[in-house]
Amino acid sequence: METIITRFPPSPTGYLHVGGARTALFNWLYARQNHGKFVLRIEDTDAVRSTQASVDAIFEAMNWLELDWDEGPYFQTQRFDIYREYLQKLLDSGDAYYCTCTPQEVEAMRQKAMADGGKPKYDGRCRERGLPKSDNAVIRFKSPLVGTTVVEDVIKGNIVFQNTEQDDFVICRSDGTPTYNFVVVVDDITMGINTVIRGDDHVMNTPKQILLYRALKSPLPVFGHVPMVLGKDKTRLSKRHGAMSVTAYRDMGYLPDAFINYLARLGWSHGDQEFFTRQELVEKFSLKNIGKSAGVFDTDKLTALNADHIRAASVRQLAPRVLPFFRKKGYDAADDEYLAGVIGTLHTRSKTLVEMADGAHFYYRDDVRPYDEKASKKFLTSETAKVLALLVEQLEALDNLAEKTQEGAFKRVMDQTGLGFGKIAQPVRVALTGTTVSPGIFEVIEVLGKERVLARLRAAVAFIESSGS
C-alpha cells in the first residue's frame, strides 16, 4: 500500500487559531493511524504579512499540542528555484503563457463580463499571442475552455465545476513571485503529498489546483474539505466568540490532550463517545466519520472536557503541567512529593490548571492570615479555641499525620467535647486554609504535614485569644 503523506501548511501571518489547529490535528491523526508521514510546511510567500514571530508562535502551538511532524518545516520562500522550474515546464508545454494586460485592463474585462451576465474573469486576449518574457508580464495558466472539473471529495462527495467559469488565472506575478494555487500544487507534488485534508474555504481553489496537477502530469491527491468551525451563534468563529491563539488556551490552564480531544469532536465523531485519550483518537479517527456540517466551538464544553482530562491524568502527568502556574502565582513549588500531594487533593475539583493553582494557595503560604472575615467570625471563636487546642495536643502526640491516625485524634476530641465532626472540622479548615472551602480536611492535614498543621492551629488559637472572640 502507498504510504499516506499528509501536510499542514499554515501561513505565518498571525497566531495558530482553533480552525487551523483542527486541520493540523486531522492530518496528524490520519498520518499516525496509517503509519504514514505528516509534513509541516510554512507558506510564507506573503512577504508583507509574514513574520518570524508568527512562525515561532506556530511552532510553539504545535509543540504544546504535541503534533510532531516527520518532515519539515519547509519554507516556501526557500523553494523559488523549484517553482521557477515548474513554471518553465508549463510554459514549455503550452499550458501557460505570458500576459502583459495591465491591472486596469483586466478590471475592465471583469466588469464587462459581469455586465454581460457572466462571472468576472480575464478574457484571454493574450492566450494565443505567444508573448515573450518581459518586465511587466505575468504568467497565466491556460485553463480548458470546455468541459467540467470534478472534485472528488471524500467528505463532501463529488463537486462539479464548469470549466467555462474558470479564467486563465495568474500563476506568477510580474515581479517573479508565484501565486498561491501554483506553489501549493508544486509543493504537494514535490513533497509526495497524497492526502489533502483542509478547511472547506479552500473548495473553490481545488478545481484550479486539479487543472495544474493534470497539466503537470501528476496524480491527484485525495481531497477532503472539512466544514468550518462556528461560534455559538452559528457565525464564523472570531475573537468575539472567545477565539484566540491556541497558546492562549494553554495559558488559561487547558491540557493539550483535552484540547485536541475537543478539537477532534468539532466535526468528527465515533458513536456517542466524547472522552478520548490521544491514543484512542489515533486508533479510531477516520475520514468517513467527519461530518458535513460545521462544528460549533463552545468554551463551556471545552472546560468540562478539560476537567475530565485533569481527573483522568495521574499526579505525575499533571506535575510538570501545573508547575508553571504555581510559580506564576509566586509559590515556591518544585516537582517533589509535596507537589504530588497538593495535586492529589485538588485535581478532582479543578476544571483548569489555573483553578488548581488558585486552590493551592494555602499550601504554599507560611501564614494563611488574614482569615476570610466571615469564616473567622463564624468559626474562630472562644469556644472553638478550646477545641483547636485539644486537637493540637492530640496531633502533637502522633508520629505522623496519615489519614487513619488523624481519624483517631479527631475521634478523641469529639469524645472529649461532645461535638460532631462537622463542628470540629470547619474551625480546623479555617485555621489551616484561611477559608471554609478546601479539599477534605484529612487530605489537607496529611499533605501540609505535622509542622505546618500544628503551627497554623496554634496561630489560630492565638488569633482568637488576641481578638477576644
Active-site residue set:
239
Q: Give CA–CA dist 391/442, Å, rounded.
A: 13
Burial 354-383 (b: 16+ CB within 10 A, else e): bbbbebbbbbbbeebeebbeebbeebbeee
Contacts (Cβ under 8 Å, ≥6 apart) of 181: 169, 171, 205, 208, 209, 212
Q: Give CA–CA dist 338/342, Å, rounded.
A: 6
Q: Give CA–CA dist 59/65, Å, rounded.
A: 10
**C-alpha cell recorded at residue 259:** 484540547
Q: Give CA–CA dist 292/306, Å, rounded.
A: 26
Q: Give CA–CA dist 323/309, Å, rounded.
A: 17
The angle that helices 337-346 and 315-328 make with each other, rounded to 10 degrees, is: 100
162, 121 contact by CB (below 8 A): no
| Three-class secondary structure of residue 54 per DSSP | helix
Q: Is 262 left (phi over 0), alpha (psi -120 to 50) or beta?
A: alpha
Q: Give CA–CA dist 2/222, Å, rounded.
A: 12
418, 325 contact by CB (below 8 A): no
267, 22 contact by CB (below 8 A): yes
Burial 14-46 (b: 16+ CB within 10 A, else e): bbbbbbbbbbbbbbbbbbbebebbbbbbbbbbe
> Which residue type is seen at 401?
L
Q: Residue ranges of the alpha helices (H) in 313-350?
A: 315-328, 337-346
325, 357 contact by CB (below 8 A): yes
